[in-house]
Amino acid sequence: MTSGVTPCANAIFQQPWWLDAVAPGRWGEVTCEHDGRVVARMPYVVRGGGGQRMLTQSSLTHTLGPWVEPSSAKPSRALAREHELLAQLEAALPPARAFSQQFSPLMLNALPFYWAGYRLEVRYTSRLHDLRSTDALWDGLRDNVRREIRKARKRVEVVDNLGVEQFHSVLSMTYARQRIPTPHSLAELERLESACASREAGAMLFARDDAGRVHAVAWVVWDQRGAYYLLAGADPRLRASGASSLLMWEAITRSREVTDVFDFQGSMLPPVERFFRAFGGRQSPYLSVTRIGPAVRLAMTARSGWSQLAARWSPPRR
């Protein structure tokens, strides 16, 4: 289900090599071509099979959705062309009982999907633009974050050579503290880290003290279009060291060497949003686009406790 297309203008999560790493053998795409070149494409990850097939995205991919080649035409003509290409992509998607993706913040046009019966919901991430000046980035931090970073620098050092197994171990502590199973296996992280490392597409960071204890971990991935705070975790026993703030700052400053945009991969959870906001990012909307067939909605409604969720995912009235 992979593709030979390598669209350089697409964000990192849409790249075939990324999809091969996070969903090997389980992804596909639809495309639109003009004069022999791809002018629009939409990758997707398949879950389930047969009559239970769902088109979605990997848990290691925060956003996916369509890409459309930019147009230099007048705004009205360019928008009409974008509508047309998005409608063609939607119509070309394979049959499935459900669809659920989060579109990139760079693709806020989903009207053709809405017109086709999909539900659109606005979500928010936080993004930093113009990473050139370290002084400006530092000034944009909240006072308490600057204190945390200064404190952490006295207690830990940032290293990036401790390996995926150590990263997964500390990441799992974060989920265990919340009594949630770790959603990513060690094999999944190893596969993605190998793909990123061979392309110099990110950094896996560790905050380690003199005793060899790892206080926190963070993984940032990047290409020229942006850097993305992919995963992070911390040892619950060592959370007071400020290491998580230090690693976030390190991720931002390292990203400056590659790109001019840093995306915190923002969460809608209030505590996480407050943490990201303290680093000076700008609130940026993105779209959650879903569609669930009538049979699936009926089955969900019949289940105890699922009626509200089924109503939420119903197609909008036209």
Find the range with the poorest average confidence among 83-97, 221-235, 296-310.
296-310
User: Does residue 271 lie within any of the structural domains?
Assistant: no
72 in the same domain as 163: no
299 in the same domain as 221: no
10 confidence band (pLDDT: 50, 70, 90): confident
What is the pLDDT, as a whole number, of residue 299?
55
Residues written for the chain? 318
Query: Domain boundary at 222, 244, 259, which?
Result: 259
**135 or 6, greater pLDDT:** 135
Structural domain harbouring 207: 131-259
What is the pLDDT, as a whole number, of residue 267?
76
Does the global pTM surpass 0.85?
A: yes
User: Does residue 240 lie within any of the structural domains?
Assistant: yes
| Average pLDDT of span 71-89 | 96
* Distance in angstroms (rounded) separating the CA atoms of residues 279 and 245: 9
247 in the same domain as 149: yes
Q: Distance of alpha carbon 119 from its chain centroid, rounded? A: 20
141 in the same domain as 239: yes
Query: Domain boundary at 240, 259, 278, which?
Result: 259
What is the pLDDT, as a whole number, of residue 254?
96
156 in the same domain as 58: no
User: Does residue 222 lie within any of the structural domains?
Assistant: yes
User: Does residue 94 lie within any of the structural domains?
Assistant: yes
Query: What tens digit of pLDDT does each residue of 16-68 get?
Result: 999 999 999 999 999 999 999 999 999 999 999 878 899 999 989 999 999 99
119 in the same domain as 236: no
User: Does residue 19 lie within any of the structural domains?
Assistant: yes
What is the pLDDT, as a whole number, of residue 297?
58
Task: List the CATH number of the domain containing 158.
Answer: 3.40.630.30
Residue 2: C-alpha distances to residues 16, 29, 98, 256 (Å): 7, 8, 21, 31
Position 312 pLDDT exceeds 90? no
Percent of the chain with pLDDT over 70: 89
What is the pLDDT, as a whole number, of residue 311?
43
User: Does residue 318 lie within any of the structural domains?
Assistant: no
254 in the same domain as 140: yes
What is the pLDDT, as a whole number, of residue 165?
98
* Distance in angstroms (rounded) separating the CA atoms of residues 47 and 98: 10
Position 8 pLDDT exceeds 60? no
238 in the same domain as 155: yes
Sequence-distant (≥ 6) Cβ neighbours of residue 151 within 8 angstroms: 241, 242
- Residue 51 is given by DSSP the state G
* Matching residue, tokens 């992280």: 189
88 in the same domain as 114: yes
232 in the same domain as 147: yes
Query: What tens digit of pLDDT does each residue of 151-195 get?
Result: 999 999 999 989 999 999 999 999 998 899 999 999 999 999 999
What is the pLDDT, as a whole number, of residue 301?
53
Q: How many CA atoms lie within 13 A of 40 on its CB side?
A: 17
Position 128 pLDDT exceeds 60? yes
119 in the same domain as 39: yes
Task: List the CATH number of the domain containing 42.
Answer: 3.40.630
- Bridge partners, residue 214, by sequence: 208
User: Does residue 117 lie within any of the structural domains?
Assistant: yes
Name the domain count of the chain. Answer: 2
Provide the token pair at 42. Answer: 């939409």
254 in the same domain as 147: yes
What is the pLDDT, as a whole number, of residue 1?
40
Percent of the chain with pLDDT over 90: 81
User: Of 286, 293, 287, 285, which is closest to residue 93 (Cα–Cα)?
Assistant: 293
